[in-house]
Structure 1
């Protein structure tokens, strides 16, 4: 488990950490750090890490510069449409949509990271971060991480939410990346 992850009780061992530097309306809103659970859902984590790092595709598609196209206060923020940037697209590292890996982890706490989909076995690059517990999503969306830090940034993002999901102001991932764990021999 990573150093920071051990300071809080995560729902599973953290194998990777990814960060999102967030802009709201073109201004720095802070950084979110997310712990990923690669021992439970390795393929889902592999897909997310490669896209976050910008190493997944020859055309440079990544989460950097990508908007959160849907934010609903009290529910979640959804992003990751790396092809169309509006919620209608997405792409996986596997060349097509990939199956739901498993539903072992549950939406039983705030700040869970889960795959967005359009039905069973339709995972691509889109994801969402919950603001509250969302147990009705269990068995429908694969949980593969949770927020470790940046809760103030998440609250700022949530404040941009609306009932129909259209953000009040643009919320963008200015930069995404993987936190280098090789210095400590972790990976």
Structure 2
């Protein structure tokens, strides 16, 4: 066995590299290519001999071209100067680690005083929970103050003040030389009542027959418990009776499958808002919006704010999902069945509008906290609905 040796001397250290040379040796095969008993033994040995001769020819074959690896200049490829620098850098790191291990060993044996806690290490993670708890406490305190303010009553005799004002107003009206008038700011509901009607068909409506125009209310909240106020709607049962009956069934359902806890999934400022299950959740078993029914008619129009209409499905039917317009929105005429209009709570509707975005997704969760029939309409309408089903 021969070997090649290469060595060089650096800093009184002599390094040698040895690489042994070995020669290939042919080993004939002893395993025949036929299975035992498949052929006679003479044929088996003859075939094994021919196979080994073929393998030997391949083993001893020499190439007709130069297939040796190219010459590798070690000095240029190995870069001994870089290797030496790495060697000294690693040696320095090793010496520092040894010193550190000696100090750690000394501390473990002698139990020296060590201060390894950094109070500012997790400051960014520990400060936020306290700040979040502080915000929640502020919210609870604000709610308590709000309830106390709402529970307070005036210390003045309001009936007496109103009577005195009425007498003073009549006296000033009689004594004035010119027509006397006082400018009074109208409420938003009064402004809403002056808007155009949603119906272009003259309908004879009697106040005594409240079943033709039932009224329902909805109380809205944002997030967990912050109230937004109540909105009252008047439903046109004399124009779209079937759609209104379906809607009233979800308003005051004895099985408690109502609109309560139902959220807005689209609020577009200056246009409209939609409430109900998101279209991708309607097919769920527990959804109250699964049952669909055909569209009734398009006799009523979206000619004012606060128009209540049903949102159509992809198949052209309705499923009690409804929308409320913030302004006059004629684009829905002929596409959505209008079932009523808002008569009270315009200010609260504008509050809901403030939680919307141009893309439609609400900034916070706005949902129905409570709903039902308005006073004076509950008993009659409940009997009317269930008798017609």
- TM tier relative to shorter chain: 0.7 to 0.9
Segments of 4+ in structure 1 off by > 2 A? Answer: 7-14, 118-121, 180-187
Structure 1: any 5+ residue segments left out of the alignment? none
What's the C-alpha RMSD, in Å, of the aligned pairs?
Answer: 2.6
Aligned residue among 311, 320, 341 for 1:146: 341
User: Looking at CA atoms only, which structure, 1 or 2, has the larger radius of gyration?
Assistant: 2
User: How many angstroms apart in 2 are the aligned matches of 1:182 and 1:125?
Assistant: 20
1:182 & 1:105 partners in 2: Cα distance? 22
DSSP-derived class of the 2:260 partner: coil
Aligned length: 173
Alignment of 1:29 onto 2:228: yes
Distance 1:96 1:183 in 2: 24
Counterpart in 2 of 1:41? 240
Q: Is the 8 A contact 1:41 1:101 kept in 2?
A: yes
User: Residue 151 and residue 38 in structure 1: after superposition, are their counterparts in 2 closer, same or farther (change >3 A)?
Assistant: same
> For the structure 1 residues 32 and 87, does the alpha-carbon distance in structure 2 shift closer, same or farther, using more than 3 Å as the test?
farther
| 2:272–2:325 Cα contact (<8 Å) kept | yes
Corresponding residue SS for 2:317: coil
Offset at residue 174 of structure 1 (A): 0.3
Question: Where does 1:1-187 land on structure 2 (aligned, <5 Å)?
Answer: 8=193, 11=198, 15-26=213-224, 27-55=226-254, 58=255, 60-81=256-277, 86-88=278-280, 89=282, 91=288, 96-119=291-314, 121-181=316-376
Q: CA deviation at 1:180?
A: 3.6
Closer, same or farther: CA 98–182 of 1 in aligned 2, 3 Å: closer
Any unmatched runs of 5+ in structure 2?
A: 1-188, 200-204, 206-211, 385-389
Scaled by the length of structure 2, what TM-score is found? 0.41
In structure 2, do the counterparts of structure 1 residues 118 and 50 end up closer, same or farther at CA, with 3 Å as the change threshold?
same
Cα pair distance change 1:169/1:104, threshold 3 Å = same
User: Structure 1 stretch 158-167 or stretch 119-128: which is displaced more?
Assistant: 119-128
With over 3 angstroms needed to count, the CA separation of the structure-2 counterparts of 1:87 and 1:175, relative to structure 1, is farther
Q: Structure 1 CA distance, aligned partners of 2:377 and 2:244?
A: 17
**What TM-score, normalized by structure 1, do the two folds share?**
0.82
1:178 Cα deviation from its structure 2 partner: 1.0
**Per-residue deviation at 1:159?**
0.3
SS at match of 1:125: strand
Equivalent residue number for residue 58 of structure 2: none
Higher strand share: 1
Q: Distance in 2 between matches of 1:115 and 1:182?
A: 22
Between 1 and 2, higher relative CO (CA 8 Å, sep ≥ 6) is seen in 1
Deviation digits for residues 12-47 of structure 1 (CA, Å, limit 9, x no counterpart)? 556111111110223011001111000000011001
Higher helix fraction: Structure 1 or Structure 2?
2
- CA distance in structure 2 between the partners assigned to 1:133 and 1:116 by the alignment: 17
1:79–1:87 CA contact under 8 A, matched in 2: no
Distance apart, 1:184 and its partner CA: 10
